[in-house]
């Protein structure tokens, strides 16, 4: 069983640029959530995708957007990068269905540095 993978591992961008981060969900999962973890902080929920649509969103501006593909992989796009966007971005996949709670499994993250 393949776990959650993310690419790239590290990324350096300059203020104002745009960035795309990628996530492959764990086999059998149909839901992907994205989190931002600033240095010294806990992860903060950005949004969740289910069936290729945004299924929930945290307190992040519209310049944070995403996609989910038919194979359940996902992208996180951030436009007009700001210095405060520097963080570890974590992807988590889960299975959303009837019945049991959908436990989330996290990938290793992408470290984004904005200069």
Partner 1 sequence: AQSVTQPDIHITVSEGASLELRCNYSYGATPYLFWYVQSPGQGLQLLLKYFSGDTLVQGIKGFEAEFKRSQSSFNLRKPSVHWSDAAEYFCAVDPRDSGGGADGLTFGKGTHLIIQP
Residue 108 touches partner 1, criterion: CB under 8 A: yes
Is residue 6 within 8 Å of 21, Cβ to Cβ? yes
Write down the least CB distance from residue 33 to partner 1, Å.
Answer: 6
DSSP secondary structure letters along 34-63: EEEE-TTS--EEEEEEETTEEEEE-S--TT
Is residue 55 within 8 Å of 48, Cβ to Cβ? yes
Residue 87 touches partner 1, criterion: CB under 8 A: no
What is d(CA 37, CA 90) in angstroms, rounded to the nearest whole number?
7
x/- binding map, residues 47-76, to partner 1, per CB under 8 A? xx-x----xx-x------------------
Residue closer to partner 1, measured from CB, 80 or 96: 96
End-to-end CA distance of the chain: 37
Residue closer to partner 1, measured from CB, 44 or 86: 44
Among 43, 68, 76, 81, binds partner 1 (CB under 8 A): 43
> What is the DSSP-derived secondary structure letter of residue 72?
S
Residues that bind partner 1 (CB under 8 A): 4, 31, 33, 35, 40-48, 50, 55-56, 58, 90, 92, 94, 96, 101-109
């Amino acid at each position: 069983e393949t776990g959650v993978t993310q690419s790239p591992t590290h990324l350096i961008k300059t203020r104002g640029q745009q960035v795309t981060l990628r996530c492959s969900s764990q086999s059998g999962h149909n839901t992907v959530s994205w989190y931002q973890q600033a240095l010294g902080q806990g992860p903060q929920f950005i949004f969740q995708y289910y069936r290729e649509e945004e299924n929930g969103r945290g307190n992040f501006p519209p310049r944070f957007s995403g996609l989910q593909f038919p194979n359940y992989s996902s992208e996180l796009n951030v436009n007009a990068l700001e210095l405060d966007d520097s963080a570890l971005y974590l992807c988590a996949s889960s299975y959303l269905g009837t019945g049991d709670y959908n436990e989330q499994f996290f990938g290793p993250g992408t470290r984004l540095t904005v200069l």
